[in-house]
Structure 1
């Protein structure tokens, strides 16, 4: 097991898989390794890779995808794990980007019509604000963090489709609650660009060969600091602080917040 915070766990059919253990908090504690993992969906895991994922000893897999995403690509969950489906975007009026991701990645004309002229950036900025205040997002993250405050939930893995946006907010808000410095939270968030984008090399090559601009795909398949900044600004405007978001937004008070810290921190 790695002892480097944010190090990739090399299971090729589950890219963007990493453990958040090892990050230090402002009061000198550190996050336990082997307790909370994040990744892409588990639909493509191979027969050879499945035992390696099972070796993580997962108890719970939180799936933040939409119903249609789950139907199109069902998870292959380790036998030890309970799967918890949480549709973060159920109440979002425009969910066409996740639903049409395959078309966006394979057809530059679709990508341009849907996401050109900075519409991709605007879409994700809006989505990150929605992660904080959209009713289905509040309900989903409430369940996620309430479960993390309970016993016998860990080790847990949290994922969406590419493990970067819905999962990114789940992880960033958790790290902030645990007391990790915001600079480290952004560093962890931006690791997706080095750990996920290489897995899409063939997609970028085909998109470029078909006349597409790879920078447009990066806006969709990668992460940008301004996306997370948008969620944090919405969180502070609506709830004042990360503790306020958990208490007043998610309904998880001081006792539940402390339980999460107790389960994930050491030292």
Structure 2
């Protein structure tokens, strides 16, 4: 057994199709692992395992495609919750759970508590049923009023899922406006630092927006929330990074989480490229602005360190959160 007394070190869930997943884990000494499933991290059915293996991986089939599943890996007295990172929806590609990340002191972010996403205007009826079953209660929307007017969030009609508007301009970048400028030959704004400066500008101008989400996580122990923008990568990525850093997640893990957007939004890029080509614009010129550049989130972390010291120092000094709020978020969000 390792020095922390852990048998299970890490785990990940890969979706194979609508009805099955493959779960793989890192464990010491080829431990015999039983796998249990449930539709909530705190409602795992432990009466009957869905898989058992000593090989480090197991496949689970026969899952209901209209439910989100969490899995508990069990080895003796040691347990670990895991789930698929991405919530597979028909109308959103970058909707994902922020749970499961390990902190530098050996704890983990709870699954099923906070989600980050791209736009929710194209959610289908089936998607709405799934989000309802997941218990999402509040939706924080970082898009501008103009963005919202053009693509309003589609939420359940029952009204139990509150929509909170926290507009963030993200350096005044707007895809349609960018297309117009380039068509008119205006490209002076296309500099290597444009995106990084946009991220940093958001830190300085919209601290109150990130604070509102963190205050929610501190005050509400069990009600899941989601925050989103249009692509789920820049404004949403900034908020996600601040939350994870404040929880004590390592910087490299925070960067890796940010980079997942590039995987999930890849299927949207061909459509955007076609739109640009029809407008007579070389898609490669805008590529950095359609993805989640690593240097942007690295720039955020460097700026926080150089200007404030830590993410917590920023949240207290700039965003106005009391240290007790950060402590309460950690109590609610970590296990």
TM-score when normalising by structure 2: 0.69
1:85 aligns with 2:165: yes
Aligned residues: 255
Separation in structure 2 between the aligned mates of residue 260 and residue 113 of structure 1, nearest angstrom: 48
Q: Encode CA deviations 1:79-104: one digit per residue, 9 max, x unaligned.
A: 43111110123xx7x62x22xx2364
1:132 aligns with 2:212: no
Tell me which residue corresponds to 2:194.
123
Q: Which runs of 5+ in 1 are unaligned?
A: none
Separation in structure 2 between the aligned mates of residue 108 and residue 5 of structure 1, nearest angstrom: 43
Q: Encode CA deviations 1:145-186: one digit per residue, 9 max, x unaligned.
A: 222211267300010111111100000111111111111111
Tell me which residue corresponds to 1:24.
102
Specify which of 171, 193, 207 is matched with residue 262 of structure 2: 193
1:59 aligns with 2:137: yes
Tell me which residue corresponds to 1:255.
324
Specify which of 225, 231, 236 is matched with residue 300 of structure 2: 231
Q: Encode CA deviations 1:160-216: one digit per residue, 9 max, x unaligned.
A: 111111100000111111111111111100000000121232222443466533323
Alignment of 1:1-12 (within 5 A): 1=69, 7-12=85-90
- Of the two, which has the highest radius of gyration? 2
Contact 2:207 2:315 in 1 (8 A): no
Separation in structure 2 between the aligned mates of residue 179 and residue 230 of structure 1, nearest angstrom: 19
Shift of 1:131: 1.7
Q: Encode CA deviations 1:116-139: one digit per residue, 9 max, x unaligned.
A: 5771643211111112111xx022
Question: Residues 201 and 52 (structure 1 numbering): CA distance in 2 closer, same or farther, change over 3 Å?
Answer: farther
Q: Which runs of 5+ in 2 are unaligned?
A: 1-68, 72-81
3-state secondary structure, aligned to 1:30: coil
Which has the higher mean CA deviation after the structures are superposed, 142-151 or 24-33? 142-151
Contact 1:88 1:141 in 2 (8 A): no
Question: Residues 8 and 216 (structure 1 numbering): CA distance in 2 closer, same or farther, change over 3 Å?
Answer: farther
1:70 aligns with 2:70: no
Q: What is the CA RMSD across the aligned residues, in angstroms?
A: 2.4
3-state secondary structure, aligned to 1:62: strand
Separation in structure 2 between the aligned mates of residue 80 and residue 201 of structure 1, nearest angstrom: 36
Which has the higher mean CA deviation after the structures are superposed, 189-198 or 41-50? 41-50
Separation in structure 2 between the aligned mates of residue 140 and residue 206 of structure 1, nearest angstrom: 32
3-state secondary structure, aligned to 2:163: strand
Alignment of 1:86-125 (within 5 A): 86-89=166-169, 95=172, 97-98=173-174, 101-102=175-176, 104=178, 109-110=182-183, 113=185, 116=187, 119=190, 121-125=192-196
Shift of 1:232: 1.9
Q: Encode CA deviations 1:226-254: one digit per residue, 9 max, x unaligned.
A: 11122222222331111211111111122
Contact 1:147 1:153 in 2 (8 A): no
Which has the higher mean CA deviation after the structures are superposed, 123-132 or 6-15? 6-15
Specify which of 214, 217, 234 is matched with residue 148 of structure 1: 217
Shift of 1:260: 0.7
Shift of 1:70: 1.4
Which has the higher mean CA deviation after the structures are superposed, 215-224 or 33-42? 215-224
Structure with the higher strand share, 1 or 2: 2
